Amino acid sequence: NTNTVMVGSVMTVEKENSPSTKLGASKSRKSYTMVGSEEADASAGKISIHSPLGMAAMGKSKGERFSFQTPSGMMSYKIIDIK
According to the model, what pLDDT value does residue 21 have?
A: 46
Report the first-to-last Cα separation within the chain, whole angstroms.
8
28 has which bridge partners?
A: 15
DSSP at 23: T
pLDDT tens sequence across 10-66: 999 999 865 554 555 556 899 999 999 999 999 999 999 999 999 999 999 999 999
By the 8 A CB rule, do 13 and 29 touch? yes
pLDDT of residue 33: 98
- Whether the pLDDT of residue 80 is over 90: the answer is yes
For residue 15, the one-letter residue type is K
pTM, to two decimals: 0.84
